[in-house]
Each structure stands twice: as structure tokens, then as C-alpha cells.
Amino acid sequence: MKIVVDNKIPYIRETLAKITDNVVYMSGNEINSETVKDADALITRTRTRCDRQLLEGSRVKFIGTATIGFDHIDTEFCNKAGIVWKNCPGCNAGAVEQYVHAVLTLLKEEKGLKLENACMGIVGVGHVGSRIMSLAKKLGMKIMLNDPPRKDNGESGFVDLDTIAAECDVITFHTPLIKEGKYKTFHLADKDFFASLRKKPVVINTSRGEVVDTSAILDAINEKRVSEAIIDVWENEPHINLDLLHKVYVGTPHIAGYSSDGKLNATIMTLKSLCEFFHLDVDINLSLDEDLKEENIIDNKDDILSCYNPKNDYSVLLSHPEDFEKIRGNYKLRKE
């Protein structure tokens, strides 16, 4: 069995060595049709576009992406070609919650944002959005939820996007990227959305860059319809819009979900899917390195910024935006 693996996926090599000695590790953006043509499985991240161009004529039967998102996989082609693909829903939800909590703490300390009784609009209430909902409640915030697929599935408690735009002090996006159809999220936050804002809210995007129209949010910032913007995901990554980078309150290189815990979860989920597909009886006994198990000791238990301050990551990206991919690829995983 041959497996091609993105070399930035941590904690995976020891287990794969138990499965086969034919494992090829390489940069995700360098994986091409030549490297996968005789591979049985591909384990990747978002940087490898898994489509007809990559996979047609190959031996690949299984794709595991060690990520929540799967918009880099042409699922229609894979389904027609008989290629099974698996993602890792919820693997880094805790890390994104930590990121949002840190951002809200910064806004409270530096900008005077009053969290108690403020209204947070959560767009997308899956694994991550549900964690953000719990966080908001703990912080004493009111919440409004928007999730059309869940609403249509009979779940209750949702409002439309216009209500979110009109009523919320903080709006945070946690949707997958869907480019067409009834539940399209591509440019969900477009010029019309920003024009309908009523309370000059804080806008946070940790979902996918294309969910927010770059030109529209830039106009909204310039016209002060948005008080502050926090952007972790960008259109056209890694070639991000530098005007937007300099206008946001915090801008980071798609690392909101980059914790050691989240990465380990993703690796374990991917390995389990691989073993299940190929009917492999392999012991997956993974845990964090000893130095990552140590608890963060802080004077004030509520001071989340002692554990993680996203402004530090913003400073790095501001200094070297051309190194977006390098910064992201070499990011030192934080502990949740």
C-alpha cells in the first residue's frame, strides 16, 4: 500500500509506519497527479485541491483530510469515481473557541466592548458554532443563531441573516464554504449584508475566506459600518488582500484552529477513517508530547490572554504577509 501524506500533518508518522513502509511525505501544494497516480490513499489538508485534474487515472481509493473543511475536495467527482473521502468535523472546535474568546477579551480590554448583555450573532451552528454559543452564554451575552440547513431540518431557535445584521453587536461566521445551491455561503457577507448592518458590529470570520466578500467588508470598515473586523481566513490565500490586512483589528494566517489538541484530534480521526476503510487492525495510541501536556499557570484564571494573544500572530503576519503560507506551515501549535 502506498500513501501520500501532507508533511505538515503532525503526530501521524509513527502510526503510518505500522501500516506500510511506502509512505511519501511532501508539501501539500506540491502534491500532483504524478505523485498520486500509484497511491492507494491520500492524507491531506486544505492546501491540496483534490479534483479530477489530480485524481483521474490514479489508483487512489481513499482521501482523508485532517481538517474540518472539505471545500478543497471535489466531492462530486470523488463520489462518481468511487473515491471515499473523510473529513474531521469538530476536530479543532476548542481551538477556535479559544481564539474567539481571546479576541473578545482583547476587545473588552482595549476597546471597551461590553460583553455582558451584548448580542452575538452566530452564523453556522455546527461543531464550532455550538462551542461559540456556549462561550457567549458563559460571558453573559445574548445570542442569535442563523443556520438555514438546520432550520429546514426542523430545528428551532433560528433567525434570518437580516435579523442578525440588524440586532447584533458581534457577528461571527462558522459556516462551511458552499459555492452554489440553496445553502450557498460564498460571499454570504456581501455588500447587501454590510449595508443592512444597524449597530456597527464587530465582525469575526474564522470559517472560510470566501464567505466574506473582501471588497464589501473593506468598504464597510472604511465607511464605519463595522466597528472592528477580525479575520483569520482570507479570499485567495495565501495571496491575501493587504489593504484588508492593515484595516482589521486582528488578522491572522488561518490558524484559529491551530492548537496541539485540535491537530491531534484531526490526526486520530483521519487515521481511524483510513484503518476503517482498508480494514486495518492498527493500534492508534496517540497523545500529546509531554511538554505540551503541562498546564498553563496564570495568576488570573480568567486571563485567557496569558494563554494565547492573537495580536502576537497579527504582528508576525503584518511584518511578513508575503510569507503567509510559511508562517502558517511552521506555526507553533498552542495548547488549549
Angle at 82 between CA 80 and CA 85, to 5 degrees: 100
110 is annotated as an active-site residue: no
* Cis amide bond preceding 321, omega within 30: no
Total residue length of the chain: 336
Choice among 72, 208, 328, 334 that is catalytic: 208
Distance CA 187, CA 179 (A): 9
The answer on whether 258 is annotated among ligand-binding residues is yes
Distance (Å) of CA 20 to CA 15, 40, 261: 9, 11, 26
208 is annotated as an active-site residue: yes
73 close to 283: Cβ distance less than 8 angstroms: no
Distance CA 126, CA 154 (A): 15
The answer on whether 267 is annotated among ligand-binding residues is no
Angle at 129 between CA 125 and CA 131, to 5 degrees: 130
The answer on whether 257 is annotated among ligand-binding residues is yes
The answer on whether 126 is annotated among ligand-binding residues is no
Choice among 47, 254, 328, 334 that is catalytic: 254
Choice among 49, 150, 237, 325 that is catalytic: 237
Instruction: Determine the residue type at 336.
Output: E
The answer on whether 67 is annotated among ligand-binding residues is yes
The answer on whether 11 is annotated among ligand-binding residues is no
Burial class of 255 by CB neighbour count within 10 A (0 to 12, 13 to 18, 19+)? buried
254 is annotated as an active-site residue: yes
The answer on whether 48 is annotated among ligand-binding residues is no
State how far Cα 188 lies from the chain centre.
17
Catalytic residue numbers read 208, 237, 254
Return binding residues.
46, 67, 147, 175, 232, 257-258
Return binding residues for substrate.
46, 67, 258
Return binding residues for NAD(+).
147, 175, 232, 257
